[in-house]
Each structure stands twice: as C-alpha cells, then as structure tokens.
Structure 1
C-alpha cells in the first residue's frame, strides 16, 4: 500500500494509509489529521489548504484556474500551496509529503 506523509499544524509527522482514486482531502479528513474539507471537494472553501513539499510540486498535475482563484482568497500561501480536494490520490504518489496550511 502507498503512503502519504503529513506534517500537521503542530509540526507532528504522520504517515497515512491511502486509497487509490480518493481525493487527498478525503484521506486527511477521514484520518483526522486536521482537515475538515467543509465543501466536500467542490473547490469552494479552501479549508483543505496544504503546502506540497518542493520535491513533489512538479510531480502533481497543474492546478486548475478555479483552484488558483480559491487559493488567492487565503491570507497566506506558499508557491507550492494546493487544495487537497483537487489532488486525486494515485499510488504513483507514494511518499508524497504535505504540510497542512493555516486554518481558514
């Protein structure tokens, strides 16, 4: 099984089990590491903001325009900020490392 690595808002490191085809937001929400995903993955709320570690940024699909617009509404983002609801898990992402963004 492939794994997702998370650094939570307290700086704690977590290794999570994953499910092929799930949104990363769903994996984070269901394993209760600090993401609520209030809009359920519709790219409407930005409560699932994560920062992709730089070595992974180029390996993910480019964000769509609606994701970029939603990220622009946040008070602080990083160059590799993404909405985890817009990243669909594939076992090719085994080892992906994310840091949870500030709560919105």
Structure 2
C-alpha cells in the first residue's frame, strides 16, 4: 500500500495508508479523515479538493487536463503546483507523495 504524506489546513501532518486505484481525494477524505469537501464527488466540476503537490512529485503525477486547470487557476489560492486531488489516481508509483490541502475559497 502506498503512503501519502499529507498536511491539513491547520498544519497537522499525517501519513495515510492509501488504496491503489482510488483517487488521492478519496484517500485523503476516507482513509485520512482530512477535512476535504469534495462536493462534486470527484467529477472535476468544483475545486473543493484543491491541494498543493510537493514540487518533487509534480513530474510523477501526470499532466493536468484543461478542465482541471481551468478550475484551479481561478482560485484565489492558486499556485503552480495546484492540483485537484480527484484527478490523481493513487498507485505504488506515488508511494510517499507529499501534498498540502489548499485553503478553502
């Protein structure tokens, strides 16, 4: 099982046992107990699962689709390493990934 190194909005760090094949969002919410709204349920139609991916991991998670970019670029908390966690599928290749929940808009 891959592990996720996650930092919650309050600065609390957690190591989460992730399930392969599920999105990063589902793992953060269901396996990590983090306060991630995920209002659209992973359909890439909101930005309530916005995270910052550690720069060392950006090349490993794949490119952003245009729809995802459009959602995060308009966030007041946008950064170059902004991603929607619903669009990142967990696998053994992402074991140890580091993410931080973005502030809520």
- TM-score computed with the length of structure 1 as normaliser: 0.95
Aligned Cα root-mean-square deviation (Å)? 0.9
How many residues were matched structurally? 104
Q: Structure 1 stretches (4+) deviating beyond 6 angstroms?
A: none
Secondary structure of residue in 1 paired with 2:4: strand
Instruction: Give, in whole Å, the separation in 2 of the partners of 1:57 and 1:91.
Output: 16
Residue of structure 2 equivalent to 1:44: 45
- Structure 1 position 56, deviation (Å): 0.7
Equivalent positions of 1:27-66 (< 5 A) are: 27-30=27-30, 31-66=32-67
Counterpart residue number, 2:9: 9
The aligned counterpart of 2:22 is 22
Q: Offset of 1:14 from its aligned partner?
A: 0.3
The TM-score, its normalising length taken from structure 2, stands at 0.95
Q: Report the Cα distance in structure 2 between the residues aligned to 1:17 and 1:55, rounded to whole angstroms.
A: 20
Take 1:84 and 1:48, find their aligned partners in 2: how far apart are those partners? Answer: 6
Distance in 1, matches of 2:77 and 2:94, equals: 26
Unaligned runs of 5+ in 1: none
Rounded to whole Å, the distance in 2 between the matches of 1:73 and 1:85 is 17
Match of 1:88 in 2: 89
Shift of 1:46: 0.3
